[in-house]
Chains A and B, each alone.
Chain A
């Protein structure tokens, strides 16, 4: 029979593995999107190959460029 603390550690490790796998799947599966929210709570997605979507992605790309790389935190 396993010691009680072993059972607890195994359980925590299993949850951590599940979470890591979920994050990996999310990274792989998530595709670029452009989502707009309007007054009243309505939202609309625009595909990258639509006219509006292409303009949004171009504008977003410029902002990402001006923001630069991730800041170093001291």
Chain B
């Protein structure tokens, strides 16, 4: 409850902070490195992917990077269509797990966690990861 309230309230702070847009897409190696770091420090994370400015998969866990790209694009398209405006963050909690998606610095990241993962921490870590990547690419 507290985490959800914090996620809801802090998103405005993050939205007002200038995000350095990635001038060029970060390299696959740097995306792999930050994704590995995120995976390492998030015990609830089942899998995640980092998408470039054009929606291409820069890095993904598991064996199916193409599917990550397709399914993440479908999620973001459905989220944008909900109110016909681009979303900044998505949090969907189901019985099978939780899905997070975030946009920042011209990049996007999606992650799937166990149920009851701490949403505020997960979104904070994913945003930090994108910021780090965008900073490296600029």
Contact = CB atoms under 8 A, between A and B. Distances in A.
A32 interface: yes
Most buried by B among A32, A43, A58, A63: A63
Nearest to A73: B43
A52 B78 contact: yes
A36 B99 CA distance: 12
B62 A68 contact: yes
- B-side interface size class: 35 or more
Given A38-B87, A56-B79, A63-B112, A71 B46 contact: yes
A35 B88 contact: no
A1 B31 CA distance: 62
The B interface, classified by DSSP as helix, strand, loop or mixed, is: mixed
Contacts of B29: none
Given A41-B11, A44-B82, A52-B78, A67 B61 contact: yes
A43 B74 contact: no
A37 B89 contact: yes
The A interface, classified by DSSP as helix, strand, loop or mixed, is: mixed
B11 A37 contact: yes
A69 interface: yes
Interface in B60-88: 61-62, 64, 67-68, 71-72, 74-75, 78-79, 81-83, 85-88
A43 B8 contact: yes
B75 A41 contact: no
Interface of A: 26-27, 30, 32-41, 43-44, 46, 52, 55-64, 66-71, 73
Given A38-B83, A41-B13, A64-B46, 6 more contacts: A33-B92, A35-B91, A37-B89, A38-B86, A56-B90, A70-B46
Q: Top 9 closest A-B pairs, CB basis?
A: A41-B12, A67-B47, A67-B112, A52-B82, A59-B75, A37-B89, A55-B78, A60-B92, A60-B99
